[in-house]
Amino acid sequence: MTIKNILKTPERVPRLGEMKYRDSKGIFMNESMISAKNEYMKEAIKEAYQGIEQKHGGPFGAVIVKDGKIVGRGHNSVLIKNDPTCHGEIEAIRNACSNLKTYDLSGCELYTTGEPCPMCLYASLWAKIDKVYYGCTIADNSMIGFRDEEMDKLGTGREQLGDFLECIDRDACLDLFHYYKEMEHTIY
Ligand SMILES: [Zn+2]
């Protein structure tokens, strides 16, 4: 490879298989050690680890699933994009809509590492997503320094949504949150 070619090589972005994760006890682990039982939540967690390792934003990853297939994914990119609306769920909704060429995500499920904030909750409803599975709770989001709880007190009516929201794999997502809490990061 000539020097000219080397200079042209874009900045390398690590791939998932090459990344090393660390759990809440500080133990380095690979992706097979992420403890989520649900395969889609596992993907959302991987998405979140990718985001925080690259300093894109908070530990929030999301995937959107239709007919058993992942049709969209994203992680919090508030810091890298200088855009406070780039939460993981919003990024995944935009990605799924772009991939499926539609604004209507009926028949889709969203998996996210943290309980959706009011903005993401309503974006999911606007997108007509069937169901949202989340790992960590709003209180957990506050535990690592985010303002979800104080915003939620304004009243989102989430308790009226019945089984639209369901908590799964919280422990696996808490490992992620603890990892984030211990690493050097910017709070916004
Ligand atoms: Zn949000």
Closest among 134, 127, 87, 133 to 107, alpha carbons compared: 127
Other beta carbons within 10 angstroms of residue 161's beta carbon come to: 13
Residue 57 placed within a domain = yes
Residue 141 placed within a domain = yes
Convert the pLDDT of each residue in 108-167 to its tens digit.
999 999 999 999 999 999 999 999 999 999 999 988 989 988 888 888 889 899 999 999
Where in the sequence is the domain holding 91, given as residue range(s)?
35-182
Q: Which of 31, 43, 53, 89 is catalytic?
A: 89
29 C-alpha vs ligand 1 centroid, how far in Å? 28
How far is Cα 166 from Cα 150, in angstroms, rounded to an integer? 21
- What CATH number is attached to the domain comprising 106? 3.40.140.10
Rounded (10°) CA dihedral 140, 165, 54, 143: -10
Which helix (DSSP H) or strand (DSSP E) does residue 167 occupy?
A: strand 165-167
How far is Cα 96 from Cα 65, in angstroms, rounded to an integer? 9
Residue 27 placed within a domain = no
Residue 159 placed within a domain = yes
Domain count, the chain: 1
How far is Cα 130 from Cα 107, in angstroms, rounded to an integer? 6
112 C-alpha vs ligand 1 centroid, how far in Å? 10
Q: Coil, helix or strand for 161?
A: helix
148 C-alpha vs ligand 1 centroid, how far in Å? 8
Instruction: State yes or no: is 149 an active-site residue.
Output: no
130 C-alpha vs ligand 1 centroid, how far in Å? 17
How far is Cα 163 from Cα 77, in angstroms, rounded to an integer? 28
Q: Which of 8-17, 54-63, 116-125 has the lowest mean pLDDT?
A: 8-17
Convert the pLDDT of each residue in 124-137 to its tens digit.
999 999 999 999 99
How far is Cα 161 from Cα 130, in angstroms, rounded to an integer? 11
What pTM does this model have? 0.84
Task: Indicate the DSSP class of residue 18.
Answer: G
